[in-house]
Amino acid sequence: MPAPVTSDLVWREIEKRSFAVLSYVNPKGQARSSGIVYVPIDRVLYVRVATESWKAKHIRRNPHVALNVTISKRVPFMPWIDIPDATIAFSGTARVLPMSEVEPKLLEALLGRMIDHANNDDNSIIEIRPTGHFATYGVGVSLLDMRDPEKARGRTPVG
């Protein structure tokens, strides 16, 4: 029996976090990935990047991306017991926005949540909209149930 996940549960977990691994494709069709710090607002994820970074260049050419959000799992009072992280994986579409094209209210909210406000002239925002379904492992289940892949796996529409 799969994990009892819902779109709302998954979004709550995404909103509690700020780190994900973003995957995209370069012009030669080769897969690439990199860690990102994101800001979730209204079920859209935003990432600040250098305007001329490879990440921004590749996403401008091909907006299809995938993300994997990890959720650290630990046994309270026994941190030496190794528990695999729970995960939320999904596909989405991304677009690179120059800072000048981001609504002032949204830009203010984004920059207010980001630690480094300097050098915005050389930066852009990547807007990521999840599509399809969330595929989860270990979300909404007990630590014991994470040992059973049938119980730990879940799938729900992005919603």
Is 66 among the domain residues? yes
Rounded mean pLDDT, 24-44:
94
Query: In terms of residue numbers, what domain contains 21?
Result: 7-157
Spatial distance between the Cα atoms of 22 and 148, rounded to a whole number of angstroms: 27
Is 150 among the domain residues? yes
Is 145 among the domain residues? yes
Confidence of residue 121 (pLDDT cuts 50, 70, 90): low
**Reported pTM:** 0.88
Count of structural domains, the chain: 1
Is 135 among the domain residues? yes
Q: At 37, which CATH number?
A: 2.30.110.10
Mean pLDDT of the residues in the chain: 90
CA dihedral over 7, 66, 70, 96, signed as positive or negative: negative
Spatial distance between the Cα atoms of 77 and 81, rounded to a whole number of angstroms: 10
Is 2 among the domain residues? no
Token readout for 72 is: 């650290």
- Per residue in 46-83, pLDDT (tens digit) is 999 999 999 999 999 999 999 999 999 888 888 788 78
The full length of the chain comes to: 159
Is 64 among the domain residues? yes
Is 58 among the domain residues? yes
Confidence of residue 4 (pLDDT cuts 50, 70, 90): confident
Token readout for 33 is: 């990935």
Is 1 among the domain residues? no
Rounded mean pLDDT, 139-148:
89
